[in-house]
Amino acid sequence: MNDIVERINKLKKEKNAIILAHSYQNIEIDLVADYVGDSLYLSRKAKDTNADIIVFAGVYFMAQTAKIISPEKKVLLPDINAGCLMADMINLHQTVDFKNQYPGLPVVCYINSTAEVKAECDICCTSSNAVEIVKSLNSKRVLFVPDANLGKWVESRLDSVEVITYNGNCPVHHNVTVSDIMHARKKYPDAKILIHPECKPEVSVLGDYVGSTSGIINYVKKSNEKRFVIVTEKGVAERLERDYPDKEFIIIKDNMLCDSMKLTTLEEILYALERERHEITLDDSVRELSSNCIERMLRVSK
Rounded CA separation 255/247 (Å): 22
pLDDT the model gives residue 151 = 98
Alpha-carbon distance values, 113 to 76, 121, 132, 145, 200 (Å): 18, 11, 19, 8, 19
Chain centroid to Cα 275, Å, comes to 27
Percent with pLDDT over 90 in the chain: 95
CB under 8 Å to 248, separation ≥6 — which residues? Answer: 191, 226, 227, 228
Residue type, 78: P
Over residues 202-213, the mean pLDDT reads 97
Q: Are residues 92 and 74 in the same domain?
A: no
Q: Is residue 1 pLDDT above 80, yes or no?
A: no
Q: Is residue 113 pLDDT above 80, yes or no?
A: yes
Q: Are residues 29 and 50 in the same domain?
A: yes
The residue range of the domain holding 52 is: 2-83+261-281
Domain ends where: 143, 170, 197? 170
CB under 8 Å to 40, separation ≥6 — which residues? Answer: 111, 126, 128, 129, 212, 214, 301
pLDDT the model gives residue 301 = 84
CB 124 within 8 A of CB 118: yes
Residue type, 187: K
Q: Are residues 161 and 181 in the same domain?
A: no
Q: How sure is the predictor about 44, in pLDDT bands with cuts at 50, 70 and 90?
A: confident
Strand partners, 231: 195
Q: Residue 180 belongs to a domain with what CATH number?
A: 3.40.50.10800
Q: Are residues 107 and 142 in the same domain?
A: yes
pLDDT the model gives residue 47 = 87
Structurally, how many domains does the chain consist of? 3
Q: Is residue 302 pLDDT above 90, yes or no?
A: no
Q: Are residues 165 and 96 in the same domain?
A: yes
Q: Are residues 29 and 79 in the same domain?
A: yes
Whether 102 is in a domain gets the answer yes
Over residues 154-174, the mean pLDDT reads 97
Report the predicted TM-score, pTM, of the whole model to 2 decimal places.
Answer: 0.94
